[in-house]
Amino acid sequence: MNAFLAFLFVSLLAGFLLGMDLTTIVNSIRKGMGQLLGSLLVIIVCGAMLGKLVAESGAAQQITRGMMKIFGTRYIQWALVATGFVVGIPLFYNVGFVLIVPLVFAVAFQNKLPVVFLGISMLASLSVTHGFLPPHPSPTALVGQFNADIGQTLLYGIIVAIPTVILAGPIFASTLKRMNSQPLETFRPPSLPENQLPSLFNSLISALLPVLLLASTSLALTILPLTGKARQLLSFLGDPDIVMLISLAFASVTLGIGRKISASKLAGIYADAVKDISMILLIMAGGGALKEIMIDSGVGLQIAKSFQDLNVNPLMLGWLIAAVIRVSIGSATVAGLTAAGIIAPMIRLTHANPNLMVLAVGAGSLMFSHVNDSGFWLYKEYFNLTIKQTLLSWSLMETIISVGGLIGVLILQLFI
């Protein structure tokens, strides 16, 4: 069933079976959807628009070219890892995949290197940014549900992400050099000529501005002794909605109007971006509805209390619940949102760090992608592999990211 409709039906059924008043069920669903979308709509829509502009303007292609020049042929694998990480932050996963994978093919054929070996290295970066780092939909939604701080979550996420990417990317990929792959011609679209690309500096600043603003304002609020209006202004500038609006306005000038892209074409790019993420927004709204049913019925609190007596680290429990849901239904976003509805009441009772809980649940939501996940088939078809080869490469990579992410979160917990 469509994930949005599934969330609505399950929310109605759960409310009824849990003995809630029928009017309360409807109001809880509306409240849950409204609260979740109200806190995320600007971030996700502006993030989608920025990502689409980065792709359409050639900025992502320029970042890839720049990384290749910096790292050179000898360290070509690390160039792709860095590219996947940098480009993966502003781009939604499917957009980043479709955009960057053809570049992996071009690099592989030009240097006569195994395609899967290079592809897994880059895709590990994309997967980690998708599961761990705002402004991607799932971690951003989890920040809202757990009342975490988006700036701190981003900083902690980067700390956990880097070793996880290295483990699941270059290290794991080195075992796949003999895996044969002949990608289809269909998936090798032409790239823009060099004279039509923005500069590397422009591309990097425009793509990474949300990260730079979120991280810098969060650090400044923590370190600087600001009070009164100065602190209020910095808090305003560091608000995720304002950060995304500033970043989109900046990129609209630097990658759009400033490079002679007409206002009408820019509007078309942004309209297409909203179409690309419309179903993601609906799925999130459905997740918000189920979360509110869990809270208003008292079942979330009851589950949290029942787990209190278990000698299990709450971060590990959040990871486990998300992992089980992910393996069962495939979607990382749905797994994260569903787990959040169960875990949210537990954070208050166990005093778990909400920023680390975002990362733990995000890591769990990436566990063992297999045949019920669209990403599994996207990878299989683009790389023209058998199901067995896909399981041995893609599925294992996602599992390493999930387990490695959890280990990183548990280690980070010792120092926070």
Terminal CA-to-CA distance of the chain, rounded, Å? 41
Cα(46)–Cα(277) distance, integer angstroms: 11
Beta carbons within 8 Å of 278's beta carbon, 6+ residues apart: none
User: Tens of pLDDT along 168-180?
Assistant: 999 999 999 999 8
Beta carbons within 8 Å of 130's beta carbon, 6+ residues apart: 88, 92, 93, 136, 138, 332, 366
Q: Which of 95-99, 209-213, 316-320, 380-384 has the lowest mean pLDDT?
A: 95-99
pLDDT at 185: 59
Beta carbons within 8 Å of 85's beta carbon, 6+ residues apart: 125, 128, 129, 161, 165
| Sign of the alpha-carbon torsion through 100, 102, 106, 109 | positive
- The proportion of the chain whose per-residue pLDDT surpasses 90, expressed as a percent, equals 40
Cα(344)–Cα(350) distance, integer angstroms: 10
User: Tens of pLDDT along 81-138?
Assistant: 988 888 787 776 766 786 677 678 767 876 788 999 999 999 999 999 989 988 787 8
User: Tens of pLDDT along 243-286?
Assistant: 889 999 999 999 999 998 999 999 999 998 888 788 878 887 88
Cα(57)–Cα(254) distance, integer angstroms: 10
> Is it true that the peptide bond before 135 is cis, omega within 30 degrees of 0?
yes
pLDDT at 396 over 60: yes
Provide Rg for the chain, Cα atoms. 21
- Please give the residue that has the higher pLDDT: either 299 or 176: 176
User: Tens of pLDDT along 13-64?
Assistant: 999 999 999 999 999 999 989 987 887 788 888 888 888 888 888 888 888 7
Q: What average pLDDT does the chain have?
A: 86
Where b means 16+ CB within 10 Å and e means fewer, 168-203 reads bbbebbeebeebebebeeeeeeeeeeeeebbebebb
Q: What is the pTM of this model?
A: 0.75
Cα(384)–Cα(381) distance, integer angstroms: 5
Quick one: average pLDDT of 338-367? 90
**DSSP class of residue 199?**
P
Domain positions in the chain are: 3-413
Three-state DSSP class for residue 53: helix
Quick one: average pLDDT of 387-397? 96
Question: What is the DSSP annotation of 355-366?
Answer: HHHHHHHHHHTT
Quick one: average pLDDT of 68-73? 80
Question: What is the DSSP annotation of 137-189?
Answer: HHHHHHHHHTT--HHHHHHHHHHHHHHHHHIIIIIHHGGGTT------GGG-P
